[in-house]
Homo-oligomer: A and B are copies of this chain.
């Protein structure tokens, strides 16, 4: 597996692959990999000749009070996992390689980026759009693989690719969960044992909402009130948002249709967790 730390090194390999007309799949990550990330690599390997993973904790998408410094990192472990998946190249630049001292350009968005996580994390999607523009321009992927767990990020990136005419297919991959239903996330490592147990309230509440919808409930306001009351049963849970939005625009809708997204962000202690389902998806398994 190639480990490219510089843009020049990464591009050298990309041009060789392009010259041979190999298709390239890109899986952008912030490292500290879990099975959710690995499912992106597996999907990319199925679809493309070459799979590139990026490992970059992007400073631009963290707000001043957020967890940039303490975000978990273990590059050697990440490399072992990526190599085991058969990834061809990992692109892992230093922040100074991606952002020169006088860097001053950014890609931003209104509408799709403004609600949900954009409300409490106003700089995040600007950081995501800017770094992904750079990664697309460095790796020239035919396809880019992203998790559906970050549903708004996926919608933002799809919109950016459409609006700016990037020539890449954005592939959304199903959320991978722990046995008890908790969505896999690098931030789960922040949870104490008691918080880890409390965090089950997210997927349990989503599953209960799925059952309501399956039973014919479509009123968004009533579903949100129901989910809020379910979350309130867990004393450690502090709701950031519970919303039901259009899958493309991330705008609130009054009545749930297939393809709409039921999404939540909840703080358990100091850790902010997000989870969601798309109306029409199979029921979340919370058996564990």
Contacts and interface: CB of A to CB of B under 8 A. Distances in A.
A105 B167 contact: no
Nearest to A111: B104
Contact of A137 (B102, B105, B159, B164): B164
B111 A102 contact: yes
Contacts of A109: 104-106
Copies of the chain in the assembly: 2
A66 interface: no
Given A107-B107, A108-B108, A134 B165 contact: yes
B104 A134 contact: no
Best-buried of A105, A130, A249 by chain B (most CB within 10 Å)? A105
A287 interface: no
A22 to B, nearest CB: 15
Contact of A160 (B100, B105, B111, B166): B105
Interface residues of A, number: 29
Contact of A103 (B7, B102, B134, B163): B163
A112 B104 contact: yes
A227 interface: no
A162 B133 CA distance: 12
Contacts of A159: 104-105
A138 to B, nearest CB: 5
Interface in A100-158: 100, 102-113, 129-130, 133-134, 137-138
A94 to B, nearest CB: 15
A186 B133 CA distance: 33
Interface in A18-67: none
B106 A108 contact: yes
Interface string A168-187: 00000000000000000000
Closest 7 pairs between A and B when the two form their complex, measured CB to CB: A105-B163, A104-B111, A137-B165, A104-B110, A105-B109, A134-B165, A105-B160
25 contacts: A7-B165, A100-B162, A100-B163, A104-B110, A104-B111, A105-B107, A105-B109, A105-B129, A105-B160, A105-B163, A106-B108, A107-B108, A107-B164, A108-B108, A130-B164, A133-B133, A133-B164, A134-B163, A134-B164, A134-B165, A137-B164, A137-B165, A137-B166, A137-B167, A138-B165
